């Protein structure tokens, strides 16, 4: 397959921090509409991979193409976000002082320039879209609460809701179920599967039960590069994978 048909194309991406190779010639391809789970032991480079895709970290070498044409390595975070790449952090990061509604309104796809936001007022469509997301994330009753007062699980959903509002082509989701109860984990899996139909999603996760629940193609990272790729069952059976990760 050529790079043109891909949504995200990483080729030979390397990053070092003070001599430590966080990413070691990492190559990865995500197709439009695909959902991919990324697993790997601590320090395998999962979060660094998200950092280089979203512009937080500049790779030392390698190519990162979005939609087969836009080179992400020279862009800053806001520019990459506006291309259509959304990111959910490992620790839920919402605007605690703002209400749930305002969190979604800030995320909603709309002009991002200061003078546009100064004179912005929500249109009927904007409000309808926010209502819709409140329903999907089951946060309707909490709409006027400050986000800081939400439970851990609710904050995670709010952040996923914010990604939905942003309406990106690609969502990067870092450990969405860390610290969640089993029931919350199951609901989150449903939520992400709903999203996956319209967007491409990359999920980084430790929780194997959750990854099984998602039922998607899995990429195993180890020491900054891809160790194995395939269905969860096939990578689980891979001898190397068992050695470095699953066997522990």
Among residues 34, 105, 184, 205, which is the contact residue for another protein, using CB under 8 A? 105
Query: From the list 31, 102, 223, 229, which residue makes contact with another protein (rule: CB under 8 A)?
Result: 102
**Per-residue x/- mask for another protein, residues 26 to 55, rule CB under 8 A?**
----------------------------x-
Give the Cα separation of 101 and 48 in Å (integer): 31
Q: How far is the CB of 129 from another protein (least distance, A)?
A: 15
Query: What tokens were used for 41?
Result: 């032991």
Phi, psi at 36, each rounded to 5°: -130, 135
Rule CB under 8 A: say whether 77 interacts with another protein. Answer: yes
**Contact call for residues 37 and 205 (beta carbons, < 8 A):** yes
Instruction: For residue 228, list its beta bridge partners.
Output: 220
Number of Cβ within a 10 Å radius of residue 30: 21
Nearer to another protein, 81 or 246 (CB): 81
Indicate left, alpha or beta for 121 from its phi (over 0: left) and psi (-120 to 50: alpha).
beta
CA angle 153, 157, 158 (to 5 degrees): 115
Among 4, 140, 181, 240, binds another protein (CB under 8 A): 140
| Contact mark string toward another protein, 184..213, x via CB under 8 A | ------------------------------
- Chain residues binding another protein by CB under 8 A are 54, 56, 76-78, 81-82, 86-87, 89, 93-98, 102, 105-107, 112-114, 117-121, 140-141, 162, 166
């Amino acid at each position: 397959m050529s790079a043109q048909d891909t949504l995200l194309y990483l080729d030979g991406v390397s990053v070092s921090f003070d001599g430590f190779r966080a990413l070691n010639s990492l190559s990865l391809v995500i197709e439009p509409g695909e959902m991919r789970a990324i697993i790997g032991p601590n320090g395998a480079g999962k979060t660094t991979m998200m950092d280089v895709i979203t512009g937080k970290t500049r790779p030392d070498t390698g190519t990162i193409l979005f939609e087969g044409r836009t080179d992400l390595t020279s862009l800053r975070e806001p520019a990459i976000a506006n291309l259509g790449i959304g990111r959910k952090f490992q620790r839920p990061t919402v605007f605690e002082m703002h209400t749930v509604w305002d969190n979604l309104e800030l995320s909603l796809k709309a002009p991002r320039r200061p003078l546009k936001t100064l004179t912005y007022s929500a249109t009927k469509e904007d409000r309808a879209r926010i209502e819709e997301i409140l329903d999907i994330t089951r946060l309707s009753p909490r709409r006027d609460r400050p986000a800081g007062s939400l439970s851990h699980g609710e904050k995670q959903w709010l952040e996923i809701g914010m990604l939905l509002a942003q309406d990106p082509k690609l969502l990067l989701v870092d450990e969405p179920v860390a610290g969640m109860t089993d029931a919350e984990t199951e609901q989150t899996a449903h939520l992400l599967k709903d999203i996956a139909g319209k967007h491409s999603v990359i999920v980084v996760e430790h929780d194997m039960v959750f990854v099984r629940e998602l039922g998607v193609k899995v990429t195993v990272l180890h020491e900054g590069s891809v160790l194995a790729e395939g269905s969860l069952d096939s990578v689980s059976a891979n001898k190397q994978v068992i050695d470095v990760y699953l066997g522990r």
